[in-house]
Amino acid sequence: MSALDGVGPALQGRLERLGIHSPADLLFHLPLRYQDRTRVVALGALRPGQYALVEGTVALTEEVRRGRRMLLSRIGDGSGFLTLRFFHYRSSQVRLLQAGRRLRCYGEVRAGATGLEMVHPEYRVDPDSGGNATEDRLTPVYPATEGLSQYRLRQLCRQALDWLPRLDLQEYLPPDVLRRQGMPTLEQALLEAHHPSPETDVAALEAGTHPAVRRLALDELIAHQLSLRRVRQRARSFRAPALTIENGLESRLRQQLGFELTGAQRRVLSELQTDMTAPRPMMRLVQGDVGSGKTAVAALAAVRAVASGFQVALMAPTELLAEQHQRNFARWFEPLGLSVLRLGGRQGVRERRALLARIASGEAHLVIGTHALFEQQVNFSRLGLVIVDEQHRFGVHQRLALREKGTHGEVLPHQLIMTATPIPRTLAMVACADLDVSVIDELPPGRKPVTTVALPETRRADVVARVQAACASGAQVYWVCTLVEESDVLQCEAAEQTAAALAEALPELHVALVHGRLSGTDKSAAMTAFERGEVDLLVATTVIEVGVDVPNASLMIIENAERLGLAQLHQLRGRVGRGETGGVCVLMYHAPLSEVARTRLAAMRETVDGFEIARRDLALRGPGELLGTRQTGEQRLRIADLLRDQDLLPVAQREADRLLAQKPALADRIISRWLGRDPDRYVQA
């Protein structure tokens, strides 16, 4: 950046706050909007709300006090008058704006007490001198930061555009691709995006639908696809243990499961086994709706690794889900003589030391835990398979950190990633470009769809009566609250108060409480009691969102359902309807509902298909929230928008494959153009 005129350390620091580290970064720092300064508008033709360039002669300038000190200057051009209002000004401005001076101003026209006015407009004195002609192109307004003016940003972007010939940004897309997409070349797109002509469709530019912006979005999507393919290539350049031994453990485990696999489970298991028997690292994502049987497939894959003499690590996003996995896998594995350990965050020093020793010695066949699994002191003897549950809650770097635990020289463990939050195909092209994708698209036979109803909170008494009736018939019930502590702002019922109130209203029922602030022992005890049927009504926060499997639970009440996203509501609903009697989910809400909340609740009533839910969730919330990236503060894409530009994703994939096959050096330059000093930008979730 220092090569640009006037860029010193202070200015460079401000630019870096905007993610601008090079002249090329300036080129892809697109305007938010545009101002039309190509023509002067007569004062008599002005209307409130418009932004306009005007000229006039100062008739009067005065300082006044009307509650606060301000400077008023009235200009005219023969067709009308306009007042310029300044709340912050210097004494030199009073002298500069004296009567008779000619001004050119730009700003928003507002209706004032004495006619039309502009508040703090940009202005120039004596515009006919000093080469102050009107602009011949629209004026860009860029995303800025404190201490960096629009004027300075415009100067720098103009310099960067002048540098285009030496920035090696030659067009690399074939003419037929550009023609089919109706796009300009890369250089033409940059010039049009930064300095459009007055005839340009500004609304399309600002909305990102103009061909110039779409060409730049396509460039970024190609860079994104290339970078994730490079991640994949690097991983595939390593070797992995070929897990080929099948010594009867798998068939014995199938008997332990107690049910027949569905056709979809068998198909996905076959894909996993094909990957795991190859001498290169498996990198596969298994998607499946709630209750489709992903855990059973993962267990069969794990047995294959253990039979081949390797350890397995299973990483879960929460302690509660890790505990649930431990109970399930122990029930399946221990009768086979296999050791299942859980590494938790709340274990004592002596217990933890003993567990670490068993992991390091290889005595532990399957190790289950949360983020604690990839802490430095955790060492595996022979890690052959890494299973990551609910992958959208972990970044790629966290997955890679766990995989590194099993690295021996050039040998890496296989990696299986599971999610019960189906990712729409469009988003999967972006989020999972470094992975192979398998889909379990079939529910076990006999599973009945869950009936979903939405009721206002005013019908709470009816809901409590429904709970009483369900428990009287022998069923169990979940009652989900969204917060542990009472909050007047969010109007959410406190789980502890709700549990107490329900226990008082339904004294014949055994009510238990689970939330994130309970100790691991207390949570486990409550969940175990519920699983055994010793608890009729379990009041819980959203910690039960994933992994909990109690077939006798056939009714779920979700309070403040309007506060939750579609994916989370669908996950919670998936806890019921796992038995032979089906299930009912009651979404209890506070009126009035926002339009978004109304749309969410309608979607929950209309479909139980997780992929359809995910598609609607993507449309409502956007990809950042669905992938769990928005809260990290990482803006994954600068120009492209995954919803707006989804039709460009297949094009980006094809062109990325072509470039890697035919022009790998150019592919590296494209990645560098967009990522610069941040080569892992697109893998930080």
pLDDT at 119 over 70: yes
State residue 349's pLDDT score.
Answer: 85
Q: Where are the domains of the chain?
A: 39-134, 249-440, 450-621
Q: What is the mean pLDDT of residues 341-350?
A: 83
Asked if 362 and 336 touch (Cβ cutoff 8 Å), the reply is no
Q: Which fold has domain 249-440?
A: Rossmann fold (3.40.50)
pLDDT at 75 over 70: yes
- Domain made up of 39-134: CATH architecture: Beta Barrel (2.40)
Question: 39-134 and 249-440 share one CATH topology?
Answer: no
**Mean pLDDT of the residues in the chain:** 85
Rg (CA), the chain: 31
State residue 205's pLDDT score.
Answer: 95
- SS3 of 12-65: the string is HHHHHHCCCCCHHHHHCCCCCEEECCCCECCHHHCCCCCEEEEEEEEEEEEEEE
Distance CA 385, CA 448 (A): 34
Give the model's confidence band at 483: pLDDT under 50 very low, under 70 low, under 90 confident, else very high: low
- Domain made up of 450-621: CATH architecture: 3-Layer(aba) Sandwich (3.40)
Give the model's confidence band at 399: pLDDT under 50 very low, under 70 low, under 90 confident, else very high: low
State residue 133's pLDDT score.
Answer: 64
Q: What is the pLDDT of residues 219-232, one digit of tens each?
A: 999 998 898 888 77
Give the model's confidence band at 30: pLDDT under 50 very low, under 70 low, under 90 confident, else very high: very high
pTM of the entire predicted model: 0.71
DSSP 8-state assignment for residue 261: P
Place of tokens 């998607």: 287
For 377-383, the CB contacts below 8 A with 24+ separation are 378/343, 378/405, 379/405, 380/311, 380/313, 380/405, 380/406, 381/311, 382/241, 382/309, 382/310, 382/311, 382/406, 383/310, 383/311, 383/312, 383/313, 383/413
* Strand pairing class (110-112; 115-119): antiparallel
Q: What is the pLDDT of residues 596-644, one digit of tens each?
A: 899 999 999 998 888 788 778 877 766 554 444 443 333 468 899 877 8
Distance CA 466, CA 637 (A): 48
Asked if 94 and 63 touch (Cβ cutoff 8 Å), the reply is yes
Residue 105 contacts by C-beta under 8 Å, 6 or more apart in sequence? Answer: 53, 54, 55, 56, 75, 82, 84, 118, 121, 122, 123
Residue 12 contacts by C-beta under 8 Å, 6 or more apart in sequence? Answer: 1, 2
* Strand pairing class (283-288; 139-141): unpaired
State residue 491's pLDDT score.
Answer: 32
